[in-house]
Structure 1
Amino acid sequence: MAEQDAFPPQQQDPPGWTGQMDPVPDHGEQTYRGSGKLEGKNALVTGGDSGIGRAVAIAFAREGADVAIGYLPEEQEDAEETARWVREAGRTAVLLPGDLTEESVARALPGQAAGELGGLDVLVNNAGFQMARRESFEDVTTDEIDRVLKTNLYALMWVTQAALEHLREGASIINNSSIQAYQPSTSLLDYASTKAAINNLTVNLAAELGPRGIRVNAVAPGPIWTPLQPSTQPEAKLTSFGQDTPLGRAGQPGEVAPAFVFLASPADSSYVSATVLGVTGGKPVF
């Protein structure tokens, strides 16, 4: 793919909806081809209604996995579309709406997924939130800090703790980090902080769970065209979104999903744990 034209100015209210985006993101609907790498596996993808989560759900299904999708209730329309693609791949899709910033909801999610799917082999902690429509650090409110930390970090811990009851030897946990953990933007100080924490958590959890045969890794995407962007970024920033990468463009969700497939596949990554895999358009991840 060549350097992109500027994205048209646009803005949504959080959490954002796929159908309102211009252009609509590419989740690999027409391009991803599976080869049975996850045949017979059961996966839970949080934030699986849109963006990277949708692309991962589609790729997992085409690799042979059944998929449970966690999402906010107001994202039902996007979640139904993701489920449609999973089912078109001949796999089971389970829709599990709920706000993961509520501890009881987050802790219940893995059990619901395992119950509906008949077990759990792969956990993808993808749900995330950011807010870049602010002038300075002084403008960040306590409510905003709470939402970012609870969505990105607390929920990840709650869901993972509950999932360990169901994950067995050979299972895989994949956390969604970000280039922001390495090259933080001043307007995303709280978000970037959570992503740095996720990197640390990934490495530590891999050390603890390694003796149980459970691998823990993370993917660090760069600028990816998802509903999070028009719903949380100023319009002016979107017109040049992703053009500061060495590849000169933003990535599409469908370009990130193969990294999750690799880390979920026992055939491809059986000896890979405590790794953060960058999908950044050339921005360094170290």
Structure 2
Amino acid sequence: MPHAPDIPAQHQDAMPADEHRMDPAPDYEPRFPGVGKLQGKVALITGGDSGIGRAVSVLFAREGARIGIVYLREDRDAETTRQLVEREGSEALLIKGDIGEKGFATKAVASTVEAFGGLDILVNNAAQQYFSNDLTEIDEQQIRRTFDSNVMGYFFMTQAALEHLSEGDAIINTASVNAFKGNPVLVDYSSTRGAITAFSRSMALQLLDRGIRVNCVAPGPIWTPFIPGSMPPDKVEGFGANAPMGRAGQPWEVATSYLFLATQESNYFTGQTLHPNGGKIVGS
């Protein structure tokens, strides 16, 4: 069992938060040599600047994909991820903006296609979450912001991508363990992840005849900028210790699920959800 790094109390007054300010730094590094599983492919990854999105970007690049990286405003983290993709011998295009705006989502897809000549894999991963103990205290602006990012953005990105996807291509959506078990302090966030689970299953059925597979990844407690950006310092300290494995997961441990779903190794998977959550048993 991997050692659980000590996670001290910390907080950032931003959502999304910054990976370069986290202590300890999340572990995004792939563990195995690439074998060309995504050679010649183009992937567009929202929230690709940090956290799970960074780990997926680096892993996909190691396997040969060129990467479009969509991010909201984290310029320093995004530039680091671009350099990491290039370190793997691939190319990255940074695309800054808000996927909750349909015009930007359309532009992000168009920019990726123009830069790399096509699109084969869409990873809808960008999201926001806010900690609240009382539903009545969640203001309308927060609810709309969370749903714009976590639901509307996925709809808009998928609508734009479908013009370019064809048989054998893949859409992978990020959900959460909270969609299955609920979370009393993340009610609006958990609701959006439930919506994305249903969206993924519905789109999988709609796209069967086109041969485009749509699947979900529902991570558990993963050490990403989500955590110091949304939780009080005392809740961040020791984060993940309550998971069955006794520790938070690292982004690289989740990225492998996305790689599986992006390749033909998962050819008989559509409408499904993978659960890298440290051993929490949930209904799928």
TM-score bin (small chain): over 0.9
Per the TM alignment, residue 107 of structure 1 is displaced from its structure 2 partner at its CA by 2.4
Structure 1 residues 211 and 145: alpha-carbon distance in aligned structure 2, compared to 1, 3 A threshold: same
Check conservation: 2:18, 2:77, Cα contact below 8 A: yes
Per the TM alignment, residue 6 of structure 1 is displaced from its structure 2 partner at its CA by 4.4
Instruction: Determine which of 274, 278, 281 is the counterpart of 1:281.
Output: 278
Per the TM alignment, residue 115 of structure 1 is displaced from its structure 2 partner at its CA by 1.2
Matched, 1:57 2:65: no
Q: TM-score, normalised by structure 1?
A: 0.96
- Between 134-143 and 48-57, the greater mean CA deviation after superposition: 134-143
Mapped to 2, the partners of 1:128 and 1:162 lie a distance apart of: 18
Mapped to 2, the partners of 1:99 and 1:192 lie a distance apart of: 21
Q: Letter of the 2:10 partner, please give it.
A: Q
Question: Percent identity of the aligned residues?
Answer: 46
SS at match of 2:171: strand
Count of aligned pairs:
282
C-alpha offsets along residues 169-203 of structure 1, whole Å, 9 cap, x if unaligned? Answer: 11000000000001111110000001111111111
Check conservation: 1:3, 1:247, Cα contact below 8 A: no
Runs of 4 or more, structure 1, over 4 Å off, are: none
SS at match of 2:181: coil
- Between 241-250 and 147-156, the greater mean CA deviation after superposition: 241-250
Aligned to 1:187: 185
Q: Letter of the 1:108 partner, please give it.
A: K
Matched, 1:24 2:22: no
Aligned to 1:87: 86
- Between 257-266 and 96-105, the greater mean CA deviation after superposition: 96-105
Aligned to 1:39: 39
Matched, 1:141 2:142: no
Q: Letter of the 1:171 partner, please give it.
A: D
Per the TM alignment, residue 139 of structure 1 is displaced from its structure 2 partner at its CA by 1.0
Mapped to 1, the partners of 2:231 and 2:6 lie a distance apart of: 15
Mapped to 2, the partners of 1:82 and 1:285 lie a distance apart of: 32
Mapped to 1, the partners of 2:149 and 2:37 lie a distance apart of: 30
Mapped to 2, the partners of 1:33 and 1:193 lie a distance apart of: 38
Q: Letter of the 1:243 partner, please give it.
A: A
Aligned to 1:229: 227
Map 1:110-125 → 2, pairs under 5 A: 110-125=109-124
Q: Letter of the 2:141 partner, please give it.
A: D
Instruction: Determine which of 154, 160, 169 is the counterpart of 2:152.
Output: 154
Give the unaligned 5+ runs of structure 1: none
Check conservation: 2:126, 2:150, Cα contact below 8 A: yes
Aligned to 1:270: 267
SS at match of 2:228: helix
Mapped to 1, the partners of 2:55 and 2:2 lie a distance apart of: 21
Aligned to 2:66: 66
Mapped to 1, the partners of 2:41 and 2:77 lie a distance apart of: 24
C-alpha offsets along residues 82-124 of structure 1, whole Å, 9 cap, x if unaligned? Answer: 0101111111111111111222112221111111111000000
Mapped to 2, the partners of 1:276 and 1:112 lie a distance apart of: 29
Per the TM alignment, residue 4 of structure 1 is displaced from its structure 2 partner at its CA by 2.4
Per the TM alignment, residue 32 of structure 1 is displaced from its structure 2 partner at its CA by 4.2
Check conservation: 2:201, 2:271, Cα contact below 8 A: yes
Mapped to 1, the partners of 2:89 and 2:5 lie a distance apart of: 36
Aligned to 2:11: 11
Mapped to 2, the partners of 1:256 and 1:62 lie a distance apart of: 15
Matched, 1:209 2:210: no
Check conservation: 1:3, 1:248, Cα contact below 8 A: no
Per the TM alignment, residue 33 of structure 1 is displaced from its structure 2 partner at its CA by 2.5
Mapped to 1, the partners of 2:281 and 2:93 lie a distance apart of: 36
Over the aligned positions, Cα root-mean-square deviation in angstroms equals: 1.1
Check conservation: 2:120, 2:169, Cα contact below 8 A: yes
SS at match of 1:67: strand
